[in-house]
Amino acid sequence: MKVFMKVDSEMLDEVIVVAYGTAKKSAFTGSASVVKADKLEKRQVSNITNALSGSVAGVQTTSSNGQPGTSATVRIRGIGSMASSSNPLYVVDGIPFDGDISSINSQDIETMTVLKDAAAAALYGARGANGVILVTTKKGKDGNARVSIDARWGSNSRQVGKYDVMENPDTYMETLYKAHYNAAYYKLGRTPEAAHTYANAQLFPAIGYQIYTLPQGEGLIGMDGKINPNAKLGYSDGQYYYTPDDWTDGTISSQMRQEYNLSVSGGTDRLNYYFSAGYLEDNGVIENSGFNRISTRLNVDYQAKKWLKFGTSLGYTNSKSKYPGDQTATASSGNAFLLANNIAPVYPMYVRNADGSLAYDKNSGNKIYDYGDGSSTNSTRNFMSMSNPKGDLLYNKEEYLMDILNGKWFIELSPIEGLKLTGSLGAYIDNTRYNVLGNKYYGQSASYGGTAQQEHIRTSAFNQQYLATYKKSFGMNNFDVLLGYESYDYRYEYSYATGQNLYKDYDFTVNNTIDNKRGGGARDEYSTRGIISRINYDFDEKYFASASYRRDASSRFHPDKRWGNFWSASVAWVISKEAFLENTEWIDMLKLKASFGQQGNDALLRNGYANYYPYLDQYSMTGANGIFSDGTLYYKGNPDITWEKSNSFNIGTDFTLLNHKLEGTIEYFNRKTSDMLYNKPVANSNGYSSIPMNIGSMTNSGVEIELNYTPIDINNLKWNIFGNATFLKNKVNKLHPDLNGELISGSRIYREGESMYQLYLVKYAGVDPTTGQSLFWAKDDEGNAYTTADYAVASNCKEATGDLLPTVYGGFGTSLDFYGFDFSIQFSYQLGGKLWDYTYQDLMHGGSNSNAGYNWHKDIAKAWTAENPNTDVPRLCATENYDAGSSSDRWIVSSNYLSINNITLGYTLPKRIVRNLGIESLRVYGAADNVALFAARKGLDPRQGYVSSTTSTYGALRSISAGVKLTF
């Protein structure tokens, strides 16, 4: 019995992909988590980063853009830098990948392995400091050709709806009346009667439109504060008719999603192959938004001789992304979500004729949209004048057309037993065309006669790897040695042309314009060189040790500062193989492990974008008529900057218990970043506002838990439960000495000894029950706290909010297989955090003239009145701009959430039925992604970021599909 269990355990010893190779899970001394194909295939995502949410301990994803095809922001064990990139490195089939991750079809992926500590990722040197995600595509298996066809059809809809806002024009106008009445009564000292008259006179001018027809001499609102019963919604000025429209229903709607995948795979003892082709149409929920992709992949390995093997992995993608701009620009007039979510329910969306019928465009036959600019109709909207995103989305065009080739070619020599020599070449080429058309009839481009823009972006990367591995055993002593060299060369080329005044209505080519033609271009280059070494040792597959070293050079630094040394050391002990545990039947495998190492980061950002030459002074070239002017310095370089260093410590245990029913990992990690790359602010009198430097340090530490439990696995019934949790703490250890331990940047504050995830805001003190005004905390010269209604005074006494990070985040779920039926559900969550709710702040404005036309949250009904003095919502007042809606910690809210990421239900027909048809398997299924989100407030999506959230951006999509998968 014991012998049987040992064999079974060996059979179940999973092989995982690691840096530059593979390893048995029981022998691996680092920290890694694997997401397998069966999990990925259930997700309906056009970008594989969106499938990581809640799937892996230590991995947190955020997304402020639901546009199909866009990537989620992925962070592994926190953010390790203040000004450098915190993105992980993606490695596809062993080759670093710098391209658009949406070009990879999730159905082609065998595994995604997340490397989290230095022992796992140090061999990637400069580019692995923020963790590494290894993407391994599928390969053929020995046997006859296996053909698989998977087709699914469904729809995309909006997952997170609007906040609980006013939907009724009457309610909005009554509330606006209160704001103007209070302004007249409390601020101007008018009598109730005079205040009533004053408020009625302000209503239509405040919003810019008259939308009610009133009897002669009567006001819209009565003395009781309610709508005049004689008022009729809708008004004609003799030329146009004005009545409110539902901007949300008119702008956002469900759209079709369809996906088809074909694969053919197989192999012999010398050849294996995998070929796939896929088509995806993933439409967004606004007009002219979507992602279409045609993808193909060919993976071939051939064992030509016993000592010679070669192969290739080729992927080609052609995609079209209809990507309307401004959908994440939270203050842009072109942002459809900003208007749909926040506009008051009083504005027309369409132009109507005097009789109330819709007006149509003579050229296209489409409806004519009201831009609120005084030109579309005779009225001017006070909220987002000159804008109608629905019209812009319909008449304007914005698209990315991409051709992407990603390939790897390798040759493997085995001249003697145990020695393997491998040479690999990797190439990535992305040719992207970006076309923009601003129509000549409506919106902001109409005044120019229309606009056209063409861009061509070519991104290429070439990677070379030359590796030698040698494995040798001496009795129970096993050695595995790796030596190698890697080079990486990246090139980015960009050219553009623009013009105005279109000849043909909907031709985006610049030659179709006659005015203000101009163009330009740019180029960036980046290179790294790396020398790689690693030695793995184990004794009797019980005691393990590993050490790695990489010497890296980066072109981002001055030649004297380019080289950095990065390393790791790790050990593991499979304690379950010791004699004192061999009779412990409930322990199948128990391993203790620890690691320490150092990695580097060279990716200093500038205004959020990559800066490839931070050590150089950078100038803008100017001049004319053959004469160069003195270049304008726009970036001050620093030749002394060098590597940002990340020291990582990891200790943990991997275990399998209860006859393989329960398996899991518990780990503690501590990641300290020192010599942080940072753009230090300096006085503008220097001629520049910042200079790059290596300053300060930061620590991210925490505990990760991953558990997988299978309580039932018998015959035709299998039930699995899984979950993970991450407890993360962040601390700024040290800043530049000139900062005296504190850096304030807008609403953010960074202090030594505290979390970088905190805000610097006025502290809200509630509402004065006597006056209804907002109260804020301030301090006198002696530092004593007191309350004041003067926001300007309180603005000089801001306080840090404290750490906003959640205490814990992760995911969980379950799957059940029963006589051909399969069901699974997966959740993600976070608890204990807070964030700044920008949208709620905007929707709780006090009714000032600058906010007229902006909608209200229904909570505004709790605003102070003489009859309701005990409330935390201040009074409405049209003349108090810095009161009710002022920025303060009043808008900090819980960031707790529970998200249902995926539900899948399928049925696989019995083999005895399908085999008669020559079919290996036939499965029908239904799947839903981004099913629901539960948060502190309706409309709030805490998954957008770490410290703030807003609905003025492209929200997350819900996808529901039905499909069939056929294999023969």
pLDDT of residue 81: 86
pLDDT of residue 883: 66
Span 431-467, pLDDT tens digits: 999 999 999 998 889 999 999 999 999 999 999 999 9
Residue 242 lies in a domain: yes
Span 272-297, pLDDT tens digits: 999 999 999 999 999 999 999 999 99
Cα R_g (the chain), whole angstroms: 31
Residue 47 lies in a domain: yes
> Do 117 and 186 have their domain in common?
no
Q: How confident is the model at residue 10 (pLDDT cuts 50, 70, 90)?
A: very low
> Do 237 and 336 have their domain in common?
yes
pLDDT of residue 423: 98
**Alpha-carbon torsion angle 249, 250, 251, 256, nearest 10:** 70
Q: What distance lies between CA 807 and its chain's CA centroid?
A: 20
> Do 236 and 357 have their domain in common?
yes
Strand segments, DSSP code E, in 333-450 are 397-413, 419-438
Most confident of 85-94, 492-501, 609-618: 492-501
> Do 333 and 388 have their domain in common?
yes
> Do 211 and 101 have their domain in common?
no
CB 177 within 8 A of CB 200: yes
pLDDT of residue 80: 83
The dihedral built from the CA positions of residue 800, 805, 808 and 812, taken in this order, carries a sign that is: positive
Higher pLDDT, 349 or 38: 349
Output the CA–CA distances (angstroms, integers) from residue 484 to 89, 432, 468, 548, in the order listed: 19, 34, 6, 11
Span 144-167, pLDDT tens digits: 999 999 999 999 999 999 999 999
> Do 243 and 182 have their domain in common?
yes
Residue where one domain finishes, among candidates 854, 882, 910: 882
Residue 856 sits in which domain range? 169-252+329-392+845-882
> Do 248 and 357 have their domain in common?
yes
Strand segments, DSSP code E, in 783-891 are 785-788, 799-800, 808-818, 821-831, 834-837
The dihedral built from the CA positions of residue 365, 369, 375 and 379, taken in this order, carries a sign that is: positive
Residue where one domain finishes, among candidates 136, 156, 187: 136
For the domain that residue 60 is a member of, what is the CATH number? 2.170.130.10
Q: How confident is the model at residue 2 (pLDDT cuts 50, 70, 90)?
A: very low
Q: What is the 3-state secondary structure (H, E, C) of 220-245?
A: CECCCCCECCCCEECEECCCEEECCC
> Do 116 and 207 have their domain in common?
no
Higher pLDDT, 244 or 361: 244
Output the CA–CA distances (angstroms, integers) from residue 19 to 123, 467, 534, 837, 968, in the order listed: 7, 12, 10, 41, 35
Output the CA–CA distances (angstroms, integers) from residue 463 to 95, 127, 490, in the order listed: 7, 13, 9
> Do 21 and 111 have their domain in common?
yes
**What is the spatial distance between Cα 779 and Cα 382, in angstroms, rounded to a whole number?**
38
Mean pLDDT of 496-518: 96
Helix (H) or strand (E) holding 564: strand 563-574
pLDDT of residue 572: 97
pLDDT of residue 13: 67
Q: Helix or strand or coil: residue 492? A: strand
Residue 177 lies in a domain: yes
Residue where one domain finishes, among candidates 136, 155, 186: 136
Q: Helix or strand or coil: residue 862? A: helix
pLDDT of residue 543: 97
Span 634-668, pLDDT tens digits: 899 999 999 999 999 999 999 999 999 999 999 99
Question: Closest by alpha carbon to 168, among 844, 852, 855, 860?
Answer: 855
pLDDT of residue 11: 38
Q: Helix or strand or coil: residue 820? A: coil
**What is the spatial distance between Cα 573 and Cα 591, in angstroms, rounded to a whole number?**
5
Residue 285 lies in a domain: no
Of the listed ranges 8-22, 133-147, 158-172, 571-585, the one predicted with least confidence: 8-22
Residue 302 lies in a domain: no
Mean pLDDT of 55-60: 95
**Alpha-carbon torsion angle 713, 715, 719, 722, nearest 10:** 50
**What is the spatial distance between Cα 480 and Cα 482, in angstroms, rounded to a whole number?**
7
**What is the spatial distance between Cα 23 and Cα 548, in angstroms, rounded to a whole number?**
15
Mean pLDDT of 890-919: 94
Q: What number of other Cβ atoms are within 10 A of residue 511's Cβ?
A: 12
Q: How many helices (H) and strands (E) does the chain have?
A: 11, 53
Residue 359 lies in a domain: yes
**What is the spatial distance between Cα 950 and Cα 771, in angstroms, rounded to a whole number?**
31
Residue 7 has pLDDT above 50, yes or no: no
**What is the spatial distance between Cα 697 and Cα 736, in angstroms, rounded to a whole number?**
9
Span 743-798, pLDDT tens digits: 998 899 999 999 999 999 999 999 999 999 999 999 999 999 999 999 999 999 99
> Do 246 and 195 have their domain in common?
yes
DSSP 184: I
Mean pLDDT of 194-213: 97
CB 369 within 8 A of CB 350: yes
Q: Kindly state the percentage of the chain with pLDDT values over 70.
A: 98
> Do 111 and 40 have their domain in common?
yes
> Do 129 and 179 have their domain in common?
no
Q: How confident is the model at residue 83 (pLDDT cuts 50, 70, 90)?
A: confident
Single-letter code of the amino acid located at 890: R
Number of structural domains (the chain) is: 2
Span 664-701, pLDDT tens digits: 999 999 999 999 998 988 888 888 889 999 989 999 99
74 pairs with which residues across the strands? 61
DSSP 868: B
Residue 882 has pLDDT above 80, yes or no: no
The dihedral built from the CA positions of residue 102, 105, 107 and 110, taken in this order, carries a sign that is: negative
Concatenating the DSSP letter of every residue in 624-678 gives ETTEEPPPEEEE---TT---EEEEEEEEEEEEEETTTTEEEEEEEEEEEEES-EE
Q: How confident is the model at residue 25 (pLDDT cuts 50, 70, 90)?
A: confident
Residue corresponding to tokens 């020559």: 918
Mean pLDDT of 349-371: 93
Q: What number of other Cβ atoms are within 10 A of residue 628's Cβ?
A: 9
Mean pLDDT of 322-346: 92
Residue 126 lies in a domain: yes
Residue 871 lies in a domain: yes
